[in-house]
Structures are given as structure tokens and as C-alpha cells.
Structure 1
Amino acid sequence: MKRDFAVAVKAIIVKEERVLILTRSQDEMECSYMNSRQKWDLPGGGLHFYERSQEGLKREIKEETGLDVFVGEPVSLFDVIKNHIHLCIFTYVCRWKEGEVILSEEHEAFYWMTGEEVCQSELPNWMKRDLLRAFTREKEMHIERDE
């Protein structure tokens, strides 16, 4: 039996008191090895071997959304073992730097949500928790807004 280990990174991007939420395309959901039912998503994906997490996250964000960001600290770690794969997903708080959202084929829509909209949304509870945590952490980031 073959077993695999994978590391993925996700971003909670904060821009002007709003966070970026994506919805996955139907094709992306159907091709998903780990989760074919979850339509809500955050920018990010798997790391390449020898790729540092923050650099891989910037690459994934650019590929999926066209945005440039400042990467802050991790806000959560999700660790799952399923179908002979062990997957660790690190979610980082990020601050929008520049650009307009241009979605890749992996996603079909995006939303910039306030904290209140997050609380009132149909997002899964784990995502709401991480998004609300990111609002606080983004304010604490030691990255200058003028960088």
C-alpha cells in the first residue's frame, strides 16, 4: 500500500477590513482527492519539494487570484489522514499589497467579506473561526503598510 505525505498552504487575505473568500469551480470539486463537497475555499495549494511555505503561498495566491500580498504568521494548522494520504494545511494571515482579483479555472467566484458578513454567512464553522482570528492577527502584523 502506497502512502503519501503532503503539505499545503492557504491564505486569509485581509484588505480594508475584509477577507477574501473563493468558491471552487465544479471541475475542481469533482477532481478533489480530499474534499469533493466543500465549495468554499481560500487561496493556496500544495508546496513543491524544497519550496519554503511563504514563497509557495505567494506563488499559489498569484496563480489563483493575481494578487500580491504580505505574508504574516500562521493562524491555524489542519492535519488529516484520509485515503492513504497524510495532509497538513497551514493557513496564514496575509495583507493585500496590490492587484485586482483575477480567478484561475480552479474558482468561479470571489467575495470580500467583513467580519459581520463572515459571522452571518453559510461558511463552515472552522473557516469562520480562522477568518475571525485573521482579522485580529492582521492588525498585529509587523509588516509596514508602506512596504
Structure 2
Amino acid sequence: MNRVDVAYSLIVDENEENILMVKNIKHNNWSPPGGGVEKGETLLEAAIRETKEETGLDIELGNIVSINEAFMEQENFHAIFFTFKAKVIGGEIEINDRETIEEVRWMSIAEAESWMPYHQKGIRYLLKQSALYYFEGN
């Protein structure tokens, strides 16, 4: 299996009641904005780039709130998913990556959780979690 790292941005509104989600065309599902880390790119750079491509928004990333792992046998991937807490600092909602993203919208935490059952303790639990992330350079 090929290893792939994926960086997600868990973007919450000011009241921490809604999560920004994107509808993925390939899998016909909803997820936080995010995607594969490209060669020479840090996790932070990937999360910021993917969010801009998928939503048109500029974000500021906080700490990691979860790390998930999966064997995706159909794609022959061993995937590690890094999810950062994030907040919007600019831009307007606009899909720049129309090949992979069908829709962007804010949804309630309860609805977002229904699309993310792999976070077994729920999104509100994630929002209270924090693991520091540092890029240590070359």
C-alpha cells in the first residue's frame, strides 16, 4: 500500500455551533475541506492550500485536534488524516476546485457528525482537544 498524508481543516463558526463542510464529488459525501499533502509541502501548507482551493476562504490554523488512520484497500492507500482546528480570516466562499467539490456550506455540528462517524466522541469533543504541531525545518 502507498502511504498518503491528508490534512483537513475543521473550521468552526464564531459560536462553535456550525462546521464548514464540502461535498466531495468522487465519493458523494461531505467532509471538512482538505486533501493530500503534496511533495515538499508541510501539513499546514496543505491544509491552507486545500481549504483555499475547495472553499475560496483564507484560514488560520490552530493545533491538531485529531489524527486518524485507515487502510483504503480500493485505492491501495495507507492514509493518515491530520485534522487541524481552523478559523476563517478572509475570502469569500467560492469553489475553485470544481472537479472534486460540488458544494460548500455551513452545517450544524450534529449534521456534520453524521458524516464523520470515525470521530467516535464527536466534534464538540474534538474542539476541546489539542496536540501541538511544529515544522522543524530541513
TM-score by length of 2: 0.76
Instruction: Say which of 34, 50, 62 aligns to 1:44.
Output: 34
Give, in whole Å, the separation in 2 of the partners of 1:41 and 1:19. Answer: 10
Change (3 A) 1:23 1:7: same
Instruction: Give the structure 2 partner of residue 16 of structure 1.
Output: 14
**Once structures 1 and 2 are overlaid, which stretch shifts more, 14-23 or 124-133?**
124-133
Instruction: Give the structure 2 partner of residue 6 of structure 1.
Output: 4
Change (3 A) 1:134 1:124: closer
2:102 corresponds to 1:112 = no
Quick one: percent identity of the two aligned structures?
25
Aligned residues: 123
Q: Where do 5+ consecutive residues of structure 2 fail to align? A: 131-138
Q: Where do 5+ consecutive residues of structure 1 fail to align? A: 30-37, 139-147
Give, in whole Å, the separation in 1 of the partners of 2:14 and 2:125. Answer: 16
Please tell me whether the aligned partners of residues 22 and 107 of structure 1 are also in contact (alpha carbons under 8 angstroms): yes
Give, in whole Å, the separation in 1 of the partners of 2:120 and 2:106. Answer: 14
Change (3 A) 1:39 1:8: same
Give, in whole Å, the separation in 1 of the partners of 2:70 and 2:21. Answer: 22
Please tell me whether the aligned partners of residues 66 and 126 of structure 2 are also in contact (alpha carbons under 8 angstroms): no
**Once structures 1 and 2 are overlaid, which stretch shifts more, 66-75 or 8-17?**
8-17
Instruction: Say which of 64, 67, 74 aligns to 2:54.
Output: 64
- What letter matches 1:23 in structure 2? K
Give, in whole Å, the separation in 1 of the partners of 2:51 and 2:34. Answer: 6
**Once structures 1 and 2 are overlaid, which stretch shifts more, 13-22 or 3-12?**
13-22
Could you say which structure has the larger radius of gyration?
A: 1
Give, in whole Å, the separation in 2 of the partners of 1:45 and 1:124. Answer: 15
Give, in whole Å, the separation in 1 of the partners of 2:52 and 2:85. Answer: 15
Please tell me whether the aligned partners of residues 9 and 47 of structure 1 are also in contact (alpha carbons under 8 angstroms): yes
